[in-house]
Structure 1
């Protein structure tokens, strides 16, 4: 079992409040990702769950038991850090089994659990090597294996891939996803990388200044962001936000044309993702602009279009875009993919 519940959890350092009344329920076996910019409180919240930081106010339940005052060793959780923290003089086998050895587990049990974890993580042929003889990805797998052998209630990952290069990050994302599939154990994962969040999570918790901005599946957050912050944090490149006014069943952009609006409320901004903007001839769509910069990435091209008083709009074109810097173009917004926000930045 690995159900975790946070009830109005707060964290104070003197007079500074860094976690501001977080309520969250995590189901047994769920893969939850905490994501947000630096300083939003995601690692602090993870450490509070793990018992490495005290909870100033509120309570933490694991499988229905209040563990707020329990030390880390009594919570049944296992943490994987950004730093591998392996013992350099020990073999992979000894590193993975060290926690069980210090807990007094029988030698036969340690060998059986280490062998099983090594098989899951594809470390069978590396058990007699030392950390210095391993790649960064292999060292991170050893650190994960050290957690697996303890058979924890839940795994806590604190930015475990940030020390790896881009290719290894992609590989390790896949391996962590397959590990969760095999073990079906609750996993809570902290990252500032929204690509990791989108590809790994059952649900994402977006944090902003110590509060939860939105909780939902990756698709929920991408297609129906609750506010401007989530809209621009989830998705790469970020969503374009443009000032607008609404009148007579439509919206108008400053100094440009508008489109239809079927909602209610009083939006002052319209949001549109780069991939939902089509480039055409000047005079088409919602506004005109001049191609200011082109980023060619092979499968995609990103074109930054200067739309005068509206500012610069980022657009995505599949493949090599048939435009040159300085070309005048029209921007057509997909009417089914536009988002509207009020003066407080909340979704309308």
Structure 2
């Protein structure tokens, strides 16, 4: 019912190409998240699926039907934006049912669908209020409810939580996850927040300057990044990357100590997640460095180490640490180590 296929989709603004031949199959009922840096084309791609941006080349199919030239109203999709876009003079009930009213739906049908959506989103007690009497999270739920009553083939979310504070973002992320399980509908979600992407997605699509860098589950992208871009983009703090060279079955870091290397081709970059590095005695591990900054966050502590020619390296430790700022330590790897070739591809 909600399978969406993008076939060599392109978008041009004059002579500037912003979406560069994207191929993607989204399964019925799947929760797919688009992530990437600002300007990578994630919102543009979402708007092309929704029909708000014209597709320059390629084809878009929904449940096997070509809808490339169809207007938004013919695609059976519903979109939730960063802005709530609620009518201030209308009640929550009227805001949620407005699309049904303009379509000429019977009042009994409108009341039933608005009531169902309000129950799912826990808005029953607010149906007679106006938007100004609601919190930011409640307004966003009304905007989502307005989409639910239309019974769409798929939901499109364009950074819907960006205007909320940290606590509300956590609450609404939980609500959206529950909504997906309750409705079982296809959802495509655009965000720059990695936590949202990692916790909500069945699959994540990482976009890099109008192309897909990698598609996979959150675990696949975190544990097996296809290239250096994905490795550094997914994960917070970001993966530590260090220039290296490989020779005679050994990996050499500038100013560091050699370690065994069994890669299939020469590596020029070594990558290690902060949680896979730990302090050691000076002279042990991959290299030595001086602890510049200690960031205590309660459950975690981050050690920012100046490793000279290797740059600043972040170590993540559980709980507190007995290490002091200014102390020289060795740094050793305790978990997966990633290698990348001169083109940035994973080895």
- Verify same fold: TM over 0.5: yes
What CA deviation, in whole Å up to 9, does each residue of 1:126-157 have, x standing for no partner? 10111001000000000000000000000000
Report matched runs for 1:61-210 at 5 Å.
Answer: 61-210=61-210
Q: C-alpha separation between the residues in 2 aligned to 1:92 and 1:258?
A: 65
SS at match of 1:173: helix
Aligned to 1:11: 11
Aligned to 1:345: 344
Aligned to 2:242: 242
Q: CA deviation at 1:262?
A: 2.2
Aligned to 1:282: 282
SS at match of 2:79: strand
Report matched runs for 1:216-295 at 5 Å.
Answer: 216-295=216-295
Aligned to 1:20: 20
What CA deviation, in whole Å up to 9, does each residue of 1:213-253 have, x standing for no partner? 00000000000001000000000000011011112322110
SS at match of 2:182: helix
Q: C-alpha separation between the residues in 2 aligned to 1:258 and 1:176?
A: 48
SS at match of 1:195: helix
Q: C-alpha separation between the residues in 1 aligned to 2:33 and 2:49?
A: 14
Q: Runs of 4+ in structure 1 displaced over 6 angstroms?
A: none
Unaligned runs of 5+ in 1: none
SS at match of 1:290: strand
Q: C-alpha separation between the residues in 2 aligned to 1:251 and 1:82?
A: 47
Q: CA deviation at 1:322?
A: 1.0
Q: CA deviation at 1:303?
A: 0.8
What CA deviation, in whole Å up to 9, does each residue of 1:64-107 have, x standing for no partner? 00000000000000000000000001000000000110011110
Q: C-alpha separation between the residues in 1 aligned to 2:56 and 2:201?
A: 28
Q: C-alpha separation between the residues in 2 aligned to 1:35 and 1:72?
A: 23
Aligned to 1:213: 213
Unaligned runs of 5+ in 2: none
TM-score (norm. length: structure 1): 0.99
Q: CA RMSD in A?
A: 0.7
Q: CA deviation at 1:296?
A: 0.9
Q: C-alpha separation between the residues in 2 aligned to 1:52 and 1:201?
A: 24
Q: CA deviation at 1:258?
A: 2.9
